Structure 1
């Protein structure tokens, strides 16, 4: 193991063990390096690496702190990598989203209360397909999927899916503008998913969510054909 990797592992172990918690300040660099048996240079590189992935927060003139370690913060690095992908990789993002979101929807069906399931249905009924704009439809789509995934009860999974989903907005707008019946189809599929969640039918909810995201994949695959 490289020296810097060893330093990262040792700092991580302090956090995982609870010796350092969210918001805690790390000991001074010299003290921490001596305590862990590492050089100050390797310690410095480890801190830089952990700062990039938002585990540590280096405050100039103040010290180095453990961040809040909230899921959305830790997953920012993944969102950055996703942002760097080109349109050819969008299909791969949809595939990952399909696999994760379908399972999250199944979990939501098992955990959602009657009130939470009704809120999903109310969200759909609030959209008038006769007057809705594409911007409004996409806003509804984002909110609906966010709420379904949130009901799965796993903040890390929700943050990861939100990060992936945010990168597919352009394709969703594109589909809404170019595909006939996109508004009605989206609302119909959302309603079916919400009803499966309300019925606590995890298998059906999983299948419907899979088909829903896969439908956009199929459309995109045709749209990007040369």
Structure 2
């Protein structure tokens, strides 16, 4: 095992074992390196890597702290990763979305408050008849974010939000606009919202499946993949 990976594993073990908790300040670099039996350079690389994935929070002039470890924060990097995939592997992310989003939509149909459902309807109704692509993308992000949050499971919400990066969304909506297919997908947003308003989880699940599968099929065609 590379030395840096070993250092990462040892810091992780301290956090998992409760020796370090969210918000705790790490010992000084020299003390921690001695305690873990590592070189300071290896420890420094490990801290840098763990800070990039939001496990550690490096505060200049103050020290290094264990971050909150909240799912939303730790899964931030997922959307960044998705945007790097521009080939057929991107479809695998949509396959996962096709499993998770309908389940979250069904949960939202029973868990969302009337107020949150009204706010979701306002998002659906806020688009004009011919909005620019950036407004379509922003509206799509907000629509799916509210449904995922409405499911009441923060881990599920974070996973769903991470599975579609901003560059991917922009690519999809730009393509739909060019092909004149925006209206169909906006109608699906309306149908999903109507099912949630009616508190019909099975119908919400079905429409969400149709919606995500439709985007997936469009993207498959755009990538030249098999139907």
Q: Deviations over 1:180-209 (max 9, x none)?
A: 3x2331222112111222233222222211
Structure 2: state its 5+ residue gaps: none
- Aligned pair 1:15/2:21, yes or no? no
RMSD of aligned residue pairs (Cα, Å): 2.7
**1:64 — aligned with what?**
64
Report how far residue 177 of structure 1 moved: 1.9
Q: Give the structure-1-normalised TM-score.
A: 0.82
Specify the alignment match of 2:190 in structure 1: 191
Q: Is the 8 A contact 2:82 2:90 kept in 1?
A: no
Structure 1 residues 118 and 76, CA, compared in 2 at 3 Å: closer, same or farther? closer
**Ranges in structure 1 where 5+ consecutive residues have no aligned partner:** none
The alignment status of 1:158 with 2:161, answered yes or no, reads no
Supply the distance in 2 between the matched residues of 1:137 and 1:48 (Cα, whole angstroms): 37
Contact 1:94 1:217 in 2 (8 A): yes
1:1-226 equivalences under 5 Å are 4-35=4-35, 37-41=36-40, 42-129=42-129, 131-165=130-164, 166-180=166-180, 182-225=181-224
The change in CA–CA distance for 1:128 and 1:81 in structure 2 (over 3 A counts) is closer
Structure 2: distance between partners of 1:200 and 1:16: 40
Q: How many residues of Structure 1 are paired with residues of Structure 2 in the alignment? A: 223
Measured after TM superposition, the shift of residue 25 of structure 1 is 0.9
Q: Distance in 2 between matches of 1:3 and 1:173?
A: 44
Q: Secondary structure at the match of 1:57?
A: strand
